[in-house]
Chain A
Amino acid sequence: MSKLKFGFYWAASCGGCEIAVLDMDEALLEVLDVADVVFWPVAMDIKYKDVEAMEDGYMDVVFFNGAVRNSEQEHLAKLLRKKAKYMVAFGSCAYTGGIPGLANVSNREEIFDVVYLKSPSTVNPKKIVPRTEVEVPEGELTLPVFYDVVKPLDRVVDVDYYLPGCPPPSSLVLDAVRVIASGQLPAKGSVLAPELSVCDECPRKKENKQITEIKRIVDHTPDPDKCLLEQGFICMGPATRGGCGARCINANMPCTGCGGPCPGAIEQGSAMISALSTILGLAAEKEEGFDFEELLTQLKDPVGTFYKYSLAGSIINRKVKR
């Protein structure tokens, strides 16, 4: 069998997904046994011209990480889609927008205002902000224009598979490569991760499914053996897909949801709100003088808590500006 051809690309991302590929460590050599990497800007001097010259479908798989924010990324997403037999949305940003998708709560002007005009370390008496076309003494310089919102990859091109996580655990990356190499591909649209929630992988004791108080990590240290949610910490485990081995929870910190929606859920944030609403104040609500509103005020920043990685990919995915 001839070797497969892989491409890796990053759009609006942090580079952590590239590191997840390297974190396969020696297994990377196994990947190189079954596939040639023909495009990978972080590591190889292969240029866009070379990609454009490829025949359509030349690459077997393109692993595309990062969300789509500007026209150049959209162009690259479309180009790579054409050159690839299979397109994998790699990591939270490509899958659901990721943490940078939280920028959808504001707009370009607000960001410019904070970064270039109001930042306490910035000296800018002429109130200069970057422009898309600028005359310099030697000629003209141009900058790309940004879309007003962050989009997950599948809102721009057709996506075959999703590899969740911020970044995806290297074991899942390796599993994905092995499945692809075996030719036994799952149904289109599949998420290449176990059909589990993080709770299913969590070793903690769950015994008392109700919450009477919402606690914050900044004020409290969790008991390392008991379910975090039952202790009152907002742990995204019930609404989040597993496959990560509950590593954050094992560091005695709540799951923040990087694995994306758990199997069966359309939307991670609403799945968590639904899970929480079944146990929040469950026993206490029967008591006299119970104030549910008061309990809710203990819940800070619902968007950043329930939609930390998935705002851009959710049904309500941006702030509407008038």
Chain B
Amino acid sequence: MKIVTIDPITRLEGHGKIDIFLNEDGNVENAYLQIPELRGFERFCEGRKAEDMPIITPRICGVCPVAHHLASTKTLDAAYGVEPTETASKLRELMNCGYFIYDHTLHFYFLAAPDFVVGPDAPPSERNIFGVLKKVGLDVGREIIKHRAYGQRITETFGGKATHPTCGVPGGISKGLNEEERQSIEDMARSSVEFAKFSLGIFNDVVLSNQDYVDLILSDPYQLKTYNMGIVDDNNHVNFYGGDIRVTDQQGKEYVKFGEQDYLDHVCEHVEPWTYSKFTYLKDVGWDGFTDGPRSGVFRVGPLGRLNAADGMATPQADEEYKRMYKTLGGRPIQSTLAFHWARLVELLYAAERAVELATDPGITGTDLRNPVGEPGEGVGVVEAARGTLIHHYKLDQEGIIKKVNLVVATTMNYADICMSIRDAAKGLIKDNNVNEGLLNMVEMAFRAYDPCFGCSTHSLPGEAPLKVNIYDYRKRLIETVQRG
């Protein structure tokens, strides 16, 4: 009797558990990704003061606190019926750009690069950021560390803390920028543009110039034909802070476009008894289980979902890279899960370029920081988090106390996709009872591409457990333990 365990899965934010079932021939019958943790945010936010929500909800996720902070603040704007001032809107968007610079740099170099720069089947002891630093050299390493930090500094400049910011208030922001701070942000943003281009260069040299990696990206186990979702501006270009939510189909055509406040007409969540996280799907299409194609309401969010749901990027250099990516991989939409990594770097460039635009906007140092609020009521706030669309929805009583909270987070939206990607990778890679460490890491690569944040998807009750892979034979017995290290 053998048992397969990867315990815990590593280089992601949070925890999970995978069960892989093999049939009589030793091939994969099915695989489940369970989320064994749950926290109580929706429940314990009830009774809190409205203005505490932008402080409390970032603690759902310390990796994407800015996204929660901004979604929460926008929800309060809507609930109090107040438009933020022009300066506040610009500062909030600038903060989200800083956050994307930090988070995308973190994911690409610290979590994903070990698989590409060091190698998917390199010794596990070297498959980490320290191994990456060894490979790329300390000078490049310092650039990586510096630019991840720049993203944090931008947030910190007016957010109080980068993790967790404090400046969001309904109708505006608590602190503005002075000229010195603005100049410093502009410098960091300009440097980040060069760093993003440098990163795309690394991706080009290390991944795209290596036929084995290109074959891996295009290989069957990593393809999924789902709908895609993301926020777009008036020109259907990607936007991280606000706009309409656009969904495209398997051919890349617009399926539906809707405003933030209408999310309940389009987005639903499904419950399974074997996991604490829910599964999001398109209401009109419906839940059709763990299947892709036009009859399954499953959709993807995050870098690839956003780029697939848009017609381009709103800044010139990122738009060029957007076009190059689709040209290289055969047009829109791209169905390959591993292309998330490339899309992430295109977005890193957009975030940096947009940060330069905002930092050089003459209105960014404005002093119109807050508009007075109206009567408390109900509101929805949506932003893009690094890993996908994030929805907050609150009901307030007349004293501005929270009565009801609903949160639909990015990783929940990608959860069904991640389950399918893991299942398909396991099916494609594990044959005839053949399981080894390198293959299991390639199964892990199927979810790592999404940059999932199980902290976010499990905001419902505190408590978590390690991700663990069990492989069962057709008699439902555990058959193998492959442990790494």
Query: Considering the chains assembled together, what is the distance between the CA atoms of A137 and B40 in angstroms?
Result: 30
Which partner residue on chain A sits nearest B80 by CB separation? Answer: A218
Q: Tally the A-B contacts, defined by beta carbons under 8 Å.
A: 306
Which parts of A245-271 form the interface with B (CB within 8 Å)? 247-248, 250-253, 256
Contact partners of B441 in chain A: CB under 8 A: 45
Considering only CB atoms and an 8 Å cut-off, how many residues of chain A contact the other chain? 92
Contact digits for B436-461, partner A, Cβ 8 Å, 1 yes 0 no? 00000100000000000101000011
Within 8 Å by CB of B11, from A16, A43, A66, A131, lies A43
With contact pairs A102-B44, A143-B34 given, residues A138 and B476 touching in the complex (Cβ less than 8 Å)? yes
A250 lies within 8 A of B40 (CB) = no
Interface centre among B276, B287, B373, B464 (most CB of A within 10 A): B464
Given known contacts A111-B40, A121-B264, A301 and B175 CB-to-CB distance under 8 angstroms: no
Set A110, A136, A217: member contacting B43, Cβ < 8 A? A110
- B273 adjacent to A129 (CB under 8 Å): yes
How long is the Cα–Cα vector from A49 to B62 in the complex, in angstroms?
27
- Of B58, B159, B406, most buried by chain A (CB within 10 Å of CB) is B406
Q: Are B40 and A41 in contact (CB under 8 A)?
A: no
B174 engages A301 (CB within 8 Å): no
Q: Chain A, 120-152, contact with B by CB distance < 8 Å: what is the 0/1 string? A: 111110001111001011111101101100100
CB distance from B461 to the nearest CB of A (A): 5
Chain B, 124-163, CB within 8 A of any chain A CB = 124-125, 127-130, 142, 145-146, 148-149, 152, 156, 158-163
Task: Evaluate contact between A144 and B36: CB separation under 8 angstroms.
Answer: yes
Say yes or no for B1: interface residue by CB 8 A criterion: no
Q: Is A229 an interface residue (CB 8 A)?
A: no
Residues of A within 8 A of B13 (CB): 15, 42
Q: Judge whether A26 and B145 touch: CB under 8 Å.
A: yes
Q: Counting CB contacts under 8 A, is A108 at the interface?
A: yes
Name the B residues within 8 Å of A105 (CB-CB).
44, 47
Residue from B159, B460, B484 having most chain A Cβ neighbours under 10 A: B460
Q: Is the CB of A143 within 8 A of B161?
A: no
Docked Cα-Cα span, A144 to B29, in Å, equals 24
B19, CB-defined interface residue at 8 Å: yes
B6 touches A47 (CB 8 A): yes
Asked whether B128 lies within 8 Å of A45 as measured between CB atoms, the reply is yes
List of B residues within 8 angstroms of A301 by Cβ: 47-49, 52, 401
Contact status B401-A130, CB under 8 Å: no
CA A144 to CA B76, docked complex, whole Å = 35
Is residue A208 within 8 Å, beta carbon to beta carbon, of the partner chain? no
Q: Which bracket fits the contact residues of B?
A: 35 or more
Q: Which of A56-88 contact B (CB under 8 A)?
A: 66-67, 69-70, 72-73, 76
Cα separation A27 to B312 with both chains bound (whole Å): 39
Residues 5-46 of B, flagged 1 when their CB comes within 8 A of A and 0 if not, give 011101111100001010000000110101011111011101
Q: Name B residues whose Cβ lies closer than 8 Å to a Cβ of A.
A: 6-8, 10-14, 19, 21, 29-30, 32, 34, 36-40, 42-44, 46-52, 55-56, 58-63, 65, 76, 80, 106, 110-111, 114, 124-125, 127-130, 142, 145-146, 148-149, 152, 156, 158-167, 169-170, 174-175, 263-264, 267-276, 278, 280, 287, 369-370, 373, 393, 399-401, 406, 408, 441, 453, 455, 460-466, 472, 476, 483-485
Could you list which residues of chain A lie within 8 angstroms of chain B, going by C-beta atoms? Answer: 11-20, 22-23, 25-26, 28-29, 32, 37, 41-50, 66-67, 69-70, 72-73, 76, 98-103, 105-106, 108, 110-111, 114-116, 119-124, 128-131, 134, 136-141, 143-144, 146-147, 150, 166-167, 216-219, 221, 244, 247-248, 250-253, 256, 300-301, 303-305, 308
Per CB-CB distance, the 8 closest pairs between chain A and chain B, nearest first, are A16-B62, A69-B463, A251-B160, A103-B40, A138-B21, A14-B62, A100-B462, A45-B124
